[in-house]
Amino acid sequence: MAFIFAVTKCANKIEEFRYRFLDGEVVLYESIDTSFTYLDKEAELFKVVNVPMQDMLRSLYNWQP
């Protein structure tokens, strides 16, 4: 999770990585989120997980100091 957070944080600093197509038009987003897949071994299926970007890694875990 920390690696995905770090890569997404870096990608958000690069304007070219924040361009997307929306309804046939090129759009520049202020920030991007990430998604990844994992294998659910019980169901033997890959699942897509969408993760909204947070400002701090600890907020992904609802961490309290």
Is there a contact between 39 and 19 (Cβ–Cβ < 8 Å)?
A: no
46 within a domain of the structure (yes/no):
yes
Q: What are phi and psi of 25, to 5 degrees?
A: -115, 150
pLDDT < 70: residue spans in the chain? 56-65
27 lies in some domain: yes
Which of 33, 35, 36, 37 shows the shortest CA–CA distance to 55? Answer: 33
- Give CA torsion, residues 54, 9, 48, 16, to 10 deg: 130
Q: Is residue 65 part of a domain?
A: no
**Parent domain of 54:** 2-60
The amino acid occupying position 40 is D
Please report the pLDDT score of residue 40 as a whole number: 86
40: in domain = yes
Structural domains in the chain (count): 1
Q: Please indicate, yes or no, if residue 16 is contained in any of the structural domains.
A: yes
According to DSSP, the residues that pair with 39 across neighbouring strands are 46
DSSP state of 15: G
